Amino acid sequence: MHPNADYFSPATQWTPGFYPVTGHDGQRTGTNLVQNASYVRLKTLELGYTLPKQLLTRVGIKSLRFYLSGYNLLTFTPLKNVDPERPGSAGGASTNSIDIYNYPVNKTYTLGASIKF
């Protein structure tokens, strides 16, 4: 391979023992910016407790249940400030355009009761 050959060009002649760098014409991107995007997420959790009927029949209630639920509670990922399920418009956090998905993940908590008379 000639020392001044363009490694990214598909027209560059391959020589045994030498391998051209992979990439795209014009961008010259490689794997140096590739990140590990694996993640573990606790998406939904609900905890509840139903009071025993013996306590409720005295006041005229058939059942009473208290609950606490949460959505998007935990995410373990090596990525910073990116939701791994919703990458940016170019597939990641670093783009030249406005990236509408680079916000922290919203968490939702719900506290409630279910009463049957």
Read off the pLDDT of residues 4-61 as tens digits, 9 standing for 90 and up. Answer: 777 667 777 766 555 555 444 445 555 656 778 789 999 999 999 999 999 998 899 9
SS3 111: strand
The tokens of 19 are what? 């391998």
The pTM score is 0.55
Q: What is the pLDDT of residues 74-111, one digit of tens each?
A: 989 887 767 778 765 554 555 555 555 556 778 999 99
